[in-house]
Chains A and B, each alone.
Chain A
Amino acid sequence: MQLFSIEYISLVVGFLILLIGIWGILTRKNILKMVIGFSLFDTGTHIIIVALGYVRNKTAPILDQANLQTNTAQKIVDPVPQALVLTAIVIGLGVTALMLVYAMKLHNEKKTLNIEKYNDLKW
């Protein structure tokens, strides 16, 4: 295991971003900041996904050159995580957009973005 290889760094960075995202979600009182935390959490996950698809010293899975079209499995990185991350990004987009709209609506209701103020429902 090479500690400073690109795949390892991206994996660790992904996890760090993910943890920072969780930290943001758990500690920030401002709803928008929580949403940003959530975005970071998502992004961290995406980086991890891509990192996991990496195959050492291989190229992108696009067979636009003839030499790639034979014995392909030996030459490209894993296309599946890339496909998955695409889906995940879009999902993240949809969720984030919805969260933001919620945040906007909440602000309309109480004119504050402090999550602690929205505790009418409890127990």
Chain B
Amino acid sequence: MLRNSLILLVLLGFAAAVFPLVHSYEAKDTLTGVAEHYANYGKEEVGAANLVSAVVVTYRGFDTLGEVTILFLASAVIGLFLKVSETHTKDSRSVFFKSTEILVTASRLLVPMIMLLGAYIFINGHLTPGGGFQGGAVIASAFALLLLSRPQKQFSHKLISVIESISGITFVFIGLLGILLAGGFLDNHIFAMGKFGTLLSAGAIPIIYILIGLKVGSELTGIVRNLKESQKVG
């Protein structure tokens, strides 16, 4: 009881603490600060129609690199976690129920389409809403569906990590190219800027988004796969 009233008190206190934030909030009528700069010069400087992508991949590209790293680390840690447990017991009897016919059939139809959608999303990330993360997540969802429908199916762990690693290294490499060929690490001007609003524009952004898409896709897939594999332990 004491504990609960304490928690209540803490919550009330916290609510009171954030109240000035809400209180001093007022919707803006115009852009200010760096956003104004992005809006006004984003087109010339980066050349991506999707300004969010311009911010994500170029202006704040370093964050994105970090973000990728986070997923990469999360996947590595999960791999680490589950790998140790593989050595835990050698008992590999299956704990999965058999999937329904509907799911199996539907997945056959849907998986390639979902993958295609994912690829579309990350390839067009600099033009339309979406991008590498979103696309990658969509691709991973296809694999998740696949795993649900056919739990016994083994993905090549090797393949996943190779894709993951290659795309990661290439991302870093492109970033470094920015130092050599353009203004700095992760500068997208290393490739031709192309015509604004077309697929082949915005310099390195599409490439980076493809890499991110592949990397995120493979990482998430890897996580899902690892989680599934771990169920053997029972």
Contact = CB atoms under 8 A, between A and B. Distances in A.
Interface of A: 1, 5, 7-8, 11-12, 15, 18-19, 22-23, 26-27, 52, 54-56, 60-64, 69, 72-76, 78-80, 82-84, 86-87, 89-91, 93-95, 97-98, 101-102, 104-105, 108
Nearest to A23: B11
B40 A72 contact: yes
B30 A86 contact: no
Interface in B42-65: 42-43, 49-52, 54-56, 59-60, 63-64
Given A23-B7, A74-B30, A75-B39, 20 more contacts: A1-B26, A19-B14, A19-B15, A22-B11, A27-B7, A55-B28, A61-B50, A62-B52, A62-B127, A64-B127, A73-B30, A73-B31, A76-B51, A83-B52, A83-B56, A83-B63, A87-B67, A94-B73, A97-B78, A108-B233
If over half of A's interface residues share one DSSP class (helix, strand or loop), that class is named, otherwise mixed; here it is helix
Given A79-B38, A90-B70, A105 B81 contact: yes
Given A26-B10, A79-B55, A98 B77 contact: yes
Interface residues on B, range: 35 or more
A38 to B, nearest CB: 15
B102 interface: no
A102 B78 CA distance: 9
A52 B28 CA distance: 9
Main secondary structure of the interface of B (DSSP, over half): helix
Nearest to A93: B71
Contact of B70 (A75, A76, A84, A91): A91
Q: Which of B27, B60, B63 has the most CB of A within 10 A?
A: B27
B36 A73 contact: yes
Question: Which of A15, A73, A91 has the largest number of chain B CB atoms within 10 A?
Answer: A73
Given A78-B35, A90-B70, A98-B74, A72 B49 contact: no
Nearest to A27: B7
B197 interface: yes
Contacts of B63: 83, 87
Nearest to A75: B39
B161 interface: no
